Structures are given as structure tokens and as C-alpha cells.
Amino acid sequence: MKHFNSNMMKNLNTILVLILLTWSPLQGQISEFNTDPDVSFKLARDLAFNGHKSESRDILNHILTKYPDYHDIRVFLGSTYSWDGLYEDAFESFNYVLKKDPMRKDAWIGAINNELWADHARKALNLAARGLQYFPDDETLLYKKASAQAESNIPEEAITTLESLIKAHPLHQKAVDYRNYLINELSYNTIGLRASTDLYSSTFDPMQYYAIKYGRQTKYGSIIGRVNFNRRFNSNGVQFELDAYPYIAKGLYAYLNLGFSNSFLFPKFRYGTELYKSLPHSLEASLGIRTLKYNSGSTYIFTGSIGHYFGNNYIFIRPYIIPNDLGSSKSGSINFRRYRKNAENYFSISMGLGYSPEVEKIRNMIDQNAIIKLNSQKFNIGYYFTMNANRNAWGANFGIAHQEISFNPGSYFWIYSLSFSCDIRIK
């Protein structure tokens, strides 16, 4: 009952303020504030935190007509502007306070955040440097300075700033994590190994897959060279691949792939491209095509994805559409990831239906048009983590599939898959 009454009083206060705001203009615009500024400030804060930021600003600005140097109010006003993306209005509020009282640390922090959110990293860096003149070695301002340096594409200087912060405040875990992240980003070279095996309930002997890769991070994006070795059907085969992930613009990047092999275990040539775009509301979408060229002809795979980030989770759907002489074949999967401290530490689950020659491993010399019509259901679970300050990445994946036999339609076997991977980052 006590909690109920408290909520009721808060709602009544909010309603009272909204009525006052509606009624005031009818009185010819009250020119002077004549009530308790502290009480009104509290109501304005409640409005802002309950989603009524515009109404909150009306109250705050009205208080400031009589109390222009009530800096707590002006700093909070600037924050509400920042939250709504009104970055110029926010800067004016913070700048007014800092000119009057440069010892207001909350105003420095608000001003720096405002410029970071506005993508004005250099301006944020200048504000952080000025703020540190008044608050030397302050942990919050040092962290903001490092963030601005990283956003200004000078991550080496950001690491130096974070080292200073950690030296002065060794228990600042966010600084330690951020330093490790930046060091990891500056490890431009990656060497990786992957090994996996498939066990079949009937028909086929176990099959092995191995890959070694070398990756290089550049300012234009990452480039990865890979050598794939497969042991299948009592035969060995090698494939050479090159992947690239070029940056195009903010929130827009591409995937490019080229591969070739002289073994029947792989396509003779493969190439593909896909475009990825970040969308509002934490969405990401992509659209692409793959081409697999065999001696008997080519297979074209149209694909894409739509994904959504929520909290530490990411879920996405990927379909595959393959036109052929017998009509289009359709397959797809739904994937879920639960992230931990960064993008390389996560738990994953995926489920799929249908057969796609881009991802499936059973292939022999029969007609591709027959293979892509196979029925298949699959489930995978994986765990990926990093060690040594994120410089070493490890992963394990287990999968099970129920797949139709290509030369005996209507009959199925089970495939049990297990894979391990390791990536080591070096300068």
C-alpha cells in the first residue's frame, strides 16, 4: 500500500505539472517563475526520466528565467537536449555553465558526451583536455579523453591515456577492459587454425576438415587468406580462398570472396559478394550472391540476412535461394548469439532447414540440381572465448544434422560434427 501511494503521488505530481504547462500559455505566457525552484526541478527530472523530455525542458527553461545561474538545472537541461540529439542546444547549455564556473565537473562530462554522441570526436577531445586542466588525473575525464582519442583514429594515444588512468586508479576495470580492447584492435595480424570432423550414422566414413588462415587488419578493412584441406571419400583436396571486408561508409561494409581448387571435393572456382548495412532500432541487413563453378556447370546462390541486437543478444535469419532447372531451391537458418564482454566472447545456437551447397559438405559427382533438392535439418551449438587480454581467441562447436541421401531419396543418415578453432593476434 505504501508503494502504491508513492506511485500515485508521483503520477499526480506529473499530471499537475502537465496541466500547469497547458494552462500557462492561456494566461499570456507567464514571464517570471514564482514557485519553489527545487520542487519544480524535481518534477522536471521525473518528467524527463519518464519519457516527457520536451515537457521537462519547458519547466527547466521557465525556472531559468528567474534563476539563470542555477547550474544544476542548466546542466540537466543540456543532458536532455543530448538525449534527444539536439546537440547544438546542449552545447549552449553546457558552455554557459563552464564559462561561469569551470569547476563544474558534471558540465565537462556532459559536454564531452554530447560531442561524442554528435560524432565530433576532435571537439570532444579538446573539451576533455581543457577539463583535465581543472581536474588533473580525474578518472572519468581521462576515460572520456581516451574515448575521444579512439574516435579520432589515434588509438595509440588512447592506450597511453588509459595506461595513465590505470596507474592512478588501478581498480578502474572499464579502463583495463578498454585498453585490452584497443590493444587487440591494433594487433593487425592474425594466424588461425581450425579442425573439424563429421561422423556419419551410415554410408560414409568419417570426414576431416582443416584450415589455416592469415588475416591482416587495414584502415580499409580486413583481408584474410585461407588454405582449406579436406579428407573425404578416401580422397584429399585443397582449396585456396581470399576474403575481404572493406569499409565503405559509416554503418556500411562489404564481404568479398574468391576461391579456387583442382580437387573434385571443392568447386573449381567460387566467388561472392555481400553488402551489410546498419539500420535504425539496432537492426542490420545484408544482401549478396555466391557463385560455385564446377566442371558440370555453375550454381548461383542468392542470400542475405536480417538481424536484431537487443541487450547482449543478437538474432539473425539467413535464407538461401538457388535457381535451377527444376525450380528454385530454398533453405535457411536462424541464429542466436549471447555475447559476454565483447564480440568474440559469445554462446551461439543455430537451426536450419534445407540444403545449401555453400555450407553443406556432402558432394560427389552427381548432378548439382539433384543435390540442392535434398531435405536436411540441422542444429548447432557453439562457445567462443578469448584469453591473454583478448589476443588469443578459441572456439568449439557441436552440430547434428538429419540429411537425405543423395543417391537414395527418402532415406536419411545422421551427421555428428565437432570443430575447434584458435586465432592468435600478433603485431
Q: Right CATH number for 2-185 from 1.10.3720.10, 2.40.110.10, 3.90.25.10, 1.25.40.10?
A: 1.25.40.10
Query: What pLDDT, on the 0 to 100 scale, is given for residue 38?
Result: 84
Q: How far apart are CA 69 and CA 89, in angstroms?
A: 17
Q: CB of 122 within 8 A of CB of 146?
A: no
pLDDT at 16: 53
Helices in 1-86 by DSSP H: which ranges? 2-23, 37-49, 53-66, 71-83
**Other residues' Cβ atoms within 10 Å of the Cβ of residue 382:** 17
Residue pair 324/313 in contact by the 8 Å Cβ criterion:
no
Each residue's pLDDT tens digit, 126-144: 999 999 999 988 999 999 9
Domain-by-domain residue ranges, the chain? 2-185, 189-426
What is the SS3 assignment for 183?
helix
Instruction: Calculate what percentage of the chain has a pLDDT beyond 90.
Output: 49
Task: Quote the CA–CA distance of 65 and 69 in Å, as a whole number.
Answer: 10
pLDDT in tens, 172-199: 999 998 888 887 777 778 999 999 999 9
Name the CATH superfamily housing domain 189-426. Answer: monomeric porin ompg (2.40.160.40)
Residue that has been written with the C-alpha cell 520536451 in this structure = 54
Residue 338 burial by CB count (10 A; 0-12/13-18/19+): exposed, middle or buried? middle
Please give the Cα distance from 263 to 296 (Å, whole number): 14
Residue 225 predicted with pLDDT over 50: yes
Residue 134 burial (C-beta neighbours within 10 Å; 0-12, 13-18, 19+): middle
DSSP at 163: H
Distance CA 385, CA 344 (A): 6
Contacts of 207 (CB under 8 A, 6+ apart): 197, 198, 200, 230, 231, 232, 233, 361
Looking at the DSSP bridge assignments, the partners of residue 237 are 230
Percentage of the chain exceeding pLDDT 70: 87
Nearest to 399 by CA among 320, 312, 335, 326: 335
Average pLDDT value for the chain: 85
Nine cell digits for residue 144: 572520456
> Taking 80 as the threshold, does the pLDDT of residue 3 lie above it?
no
**Three-class secondary structure of residue 419 per DSSP:** strand
The alpha carbon torsion through 339, 344, 349, 350 (nearest 10 deg) reads: 130
Q: How many CB atoms lie within 10 A of CB 124?
A: 25
Grid coordinates representing 311 are: 541487450
Q: Would you state the cell numbers that stand for residue 325, as one nine-digit string?
A: 532447372
